[in-house]
Amino acid sequence: MNLKEFAARIGLSQTTVSRAMSGYPEVRPETRARVLEAAERLGYRPNISAQRLATGRAGAIGIVFRGGGRFGPHSSEFMGGLSTRLQKDGIDILLSTVETEDDEAAAYRRLAASKRVDAVIVHTPACTDDRIVLLRALGLPFILHGRSEAKKPFAYLDIDNFGAIETATRYLAGLGHRRIALINGDTASTYARDRDDGFRAALEVCGLSLDAALTGHGEFTDETGFRLMQAFLALPAPPTAVIAGSMMSALGAMRAIRIAGLTVGRDVSLIAHDDVFPYLSPDNLMPALTTTQSPIRAAGERIGDMVLRMLQGEAVETLQEVWPVEFIVRGSTGPAPA
């Protein structure tokens, strides 16, 4: 049933019905109630494509994942939160997957030209990120999950990566650890640089020197965590403590420690950053894992919120947030072995 039929059916004009359904003020409350009731009863819903064409709004937010759509557990938690929030306002999520950086740029051009989305969410930004320049040029509104450098202000939500790793490192130093290792992510990303910076800052404050051999970079997978940890342990002077960038890296690191015949929390202290996965809790590991934690699902919900406000015209300067990261001590950290 379309608007014409529906309006005829209840004896009102299309105009009035349209206004009643979209919550415009200039319609009498009784009329609105009558329209809404009838729509519910007869199962009328405006055709979404027509609505979008008429208003010029796409009613959708885009998000592009690189690497063949291989979004991992972090992305899926984030998307869960984002979807939950946007759902409430009837805004769709348009999920795109691409291979290369160039493909990603092409995807934004397409999205902009075909007016498929009203805004996009950009994630895992690099310290200086070409995507920001491109999206500005295209006039496609965007919000960053993470931070980046740029002349002009833009909307973003980030967590305090610097503070998280700084706190973790200082805590370990306070326990007497002198050789602390860091399993970090992809070097090009802002978050990884921030974590490196926080790590260095803490070492300096604590009078410890930075040993390049004790910092590793790579994907947040079990395998990379394992390999990097094995390399650390093979060093002439292996670390007595390690900070892993994610729960997945931590699983690999724990395994490497165990295989070396060492005990987590006694011979080697371990702290992991936890994005909070409902299916893998640090409390459940053995020993329970000391973590820096920040719920990525909540971040997804919040970004959904912010993007909607941005589309309502709110200034980007007021859409900038950095979330503190919680530090939770559990059993995987202990005094440095004598």
Partner DNA sequence: CTGAAAGCGCTTACAG
Contacting positions for a copy of itself (CB under 8 A)? 43-50, 52-53, 58, 60, 65, 68-73, 75-76, 79-81, 83-84, 87, 92-98, 109-110, 113-116, 219-223, 226, 248, 251-252, 255, 258-259, 278-281, 284-286, 297
Q: Which is nearer to DNA, 25 or 139 (CB)?
A: 25
**Which of the 8 DSSP states describes residue 216?**
E
Nearest distance in Å: CB 39, DNA? 10
CB of 84 to DNA, least distance (A): 24
Q: How far is the CB of 217 from a copy of itself (least distance, A)?
A: 16
55 binds DNA (CB under 7 A): yes
Out of 2, 84, 187, 318, the only residue in the binding site for DNA (CB under 7 A) is 2
Q: Residue 310: which of DNA, a copy of itself, none does it interact with, CB under 5 to 8 A by kind?
A: none
Residue 109 class from Cβ within 10 Å (0-12 exposed, 13-18 middle, 19+ buried)?
middle
Residues 85, 312, 189: CA angle, nearest 5 degrees:
60
Question: Strands across the sheet with 180-184, in order?
Answer: 215-217, 180-184, 241-244, 269-274, 290-293, 326-328
Q: Are 37 and 96 in contact (CB under 8 A)?
A: no
C-alpha closest to that of 39 among 57, 22, 26: 22
Which of left, alpha, beta for 110 (phi over 0: left; psi -120 to 50: alpha)? alpha
207 binds, among DNA, a copy of itself, none (CB under 5 to 8 A by kind): none
Instruction: Tell me the per-residue interface mask from 9 to 28 with DNA, x by CB under 7 A, - otherwise.
Output: ---xxxxx-xx-xx--xxxx
Closer residue to DNA (CB): 53 or 235? 53
CB nearer a copy of itself, residue 146 or residue 304: 304
* Sequence-distant (≥ 6) Cβ neighbours of residue 114 within 8 angstroms: none
Residue 74 Cα to chain centre, angstroms: 7
Q: Which does 70 bind (CB under 5 to 8 A by kind): DNA, a copy of itself, none?
A: a copy of itself
* 215 backbone dihedrals φ, ψ, rounded to 5°: -125, 130
- Asked whether position 54 contacts DNA by CB under 7 A, the answer is yes
For 136, how many CA atoms within 13 A lie in the half-sphere containing its CB? 12
Q: Site residues (CB under 7 A) for DNA? A: 2-4, 12-16, 18-19, 21-22, 25-29, 31, 46-47, 50-51, 53-56
